[in-house]
Structure 1
Amino acid sequence: MSIALLIITIIAAYLLGSIPSSVWYGIGYFGIDVRKHGSGNAGATNTFRILGKRAGTVVMLIDVLKGWTATCLASMLFYMNEIGETELLMYKIIFGIIAIIGHIFPVFVNFKGGKGIATLLGMVLAIHPELALLCITIFILTLLASQYVSLSSILATLAFPVLSWIGVFGHPEPLLIVFGFTMFVLVVFTHQKNIKRLMNGNESRVNIFKSKAERRNS
């Protein structure tokens, strides 16, 4: 693969990740910048809290699609015969991580984005859909039990490398395990404030079954 094509693909992955769905959707349809309300975070969770379930779902799905599409750029290169089968997983991981970086540091809104969980989910769905679905299940069960999105995100992210390591879906893939633990460290880093609030017992709870008005008043 030529250096020029690699650079173009890396830029494409970053720009995909940089799409500030919560900001553009909130301003475009509601006239509300979610960064000025709630937690101030430009992510799906704060969108759920401020704009409601429908808006939060739309933003979350777009963020998932960003990660999935960026990761699948590697498949495009594979079908173009630019990379081999042995390189496919490596490039999927590279492009997916770049999309996550784009989500966290988006060029379109002064490099202040979300925490990248939904984009990471899209990436994992493109790499290992079965394992991703199991991690989603862990996220949902933790959220229903605790109502903490941050805790649910951290545990679901940790589950990916652990389940890969013990070989739940076949022989462990070292590259996936390393990637998974790296992503776990990144998620812990982006959730430092949430972890402190969890430890202090004052982290915000999110009940996805409540109405928008109920969430604002809770």
Structure 2
Amino acid sequence: MQLWLCPLIAFLLGSIPFGLLIAKAKGINIREHGSGNIGATNVLRVVGKKYGITCLLLDALKGFIPVLIAINVIRISSHSPLMTFDFPEGWILHIPAAEALKGQIAHILTALAAVLGHNYSPWVGFRGGKGIATSAGVFLALMPAGLGVLIIVFLIVFITTRYVSLASIVAAAALPMVTLWGSWHHGRIQDGTWNKPLFVFTVVIGLLAIWKHRSNIQRLREGTENRFTRKAKSTHV
């Protein structure tokens, strides 16, 4: 039951359009303003900083919570979850080390379902955000150290260019390489125990994130993409 229930919960949780709900609470239809996207970046631009940050955190939790649950209720005997919860024993499916691939696939399907739920939410006509925040939540549960590297990559590009979209695209492109580096660094590739479903997932998520940014890529090429700039302080004489 856990093998199909975890992805289902992930999709339903991921599909909650927090950006749309937050903006609606302020009397704004976020799909009619800015880029029309329901993600945190557009909420920040249109509704305000604190609402954008709230949306960012909630969208990240949509990815983090279901994957963390999956890792804890579908347990591979040779691996210990970084964060454990005391679920009733009857809820936990124990996967022997020899069948680790089955557990890894279940974890990755849960992660993918969360991102797809956000990107193609049935509550908004199977449309949604670009999945960056939700993907960050997923990778916080799956590979927290790798996420830290990606955040550094994102910040370097963003601080240098002031383009959120470009920073997101570069981080998405770097995702599979960071995953491979982590597996090699920990000796998992050398001994054949590396998480192959995770690598495939990072390729899929990276390509999906870049595809969802195709309109941003066009605007970047045309020089019309919105750039975050610091507001100048007003002076009073």
| Structure 2 length-normalised TM | 0.80
Verify the 8 A CA contact 2:172 2:210 in the aligned structure 1. no
Equivalences for residues 144-159 of structure 1 within 5 A:
144-159=159-174
Aligned residue number for residue 196 of structure 1:
218
Aligned residue number for residue 179 of structure 1:
201
- What CA distance in whole angstroms lies between the structure 2 residues aligned with 1:104 and 1:164? 22
* 1:136 CA displacement: 0.8
- What CA distance in whole angstroms lies between the structure 2 residues aligned with 1:18 and 1:6? 19
Equivalences for residues 45-194 of structure 1 within 5 A:
45-78=41-74, 80-84=91-95, 86=100, 87-167=102-182, 169-171=185-187, 172=189, 173=194, 174-194=196-216
Aligned residues between the structures: 206
Verify the 8 A CA contact 2:67 2:110 in the aligned structure 1. yes
Once the two structures are superposed, residues 59-94 of structure 1 have per-residue CA deviations (whole angstroms, 9 ceiling, x without a partner) of 000000000012123123225332426244322211
| Counterpart AA for 2:227 | R
Once the two structures are superposed, residues 37-63 of structure 1 have per-residue CA deviations (whole angstroms, 9 ceiling, x without a partner) of 000001001011111211100000000
The runs of 5 or more residues in structure 1 that have no matched partner are 212-218
Distance 1:203 1:90, change over 3 A: same
- What CA distance in whole angstroms lies between the structure 1 residues aligned with 2:54 and 2:185? 30
Moved more, 192-201 or 122-131: 192-201
The runs of 5 or more residues in structure 2 that have no matched partner are 76-90, 233-237
Verify the 8 A CA contact 1:18 1:106 in the aligned structure 2. yes
- What CA distance in whole angstroms lies between the structure 2 residues aligned with 1:32 and 1:63? 19
Distance 1:83 1:132, change over 3 A: same
* 1:23 CA displacement: 0.7
Distance 1:108 1:124, change over 3 A: same
| Counterpart AA for 2:209 | V
- What CA distance in whole angstroms lies between the structure 1 residues aligned with 2:50 and 2:130? 20
Structure whose residues are more often helix by fraction = 1
| Structure 1 length-normalised TM | 0.87
Aligned-residue CA RMSD (Å):
1.9
Identity among equivalent positions (%) equals 35
Verify the 8 A CA contact 1:161 1:176 in the aligned structure 2. no
Distance 1:176 1:10, change over 3 A: closer
- What CA distance in whole angstroms lies between the structure 2 residues aligned with 1:164 and 1:138? 14
Select the structure of larger CA radius of gyration: 2
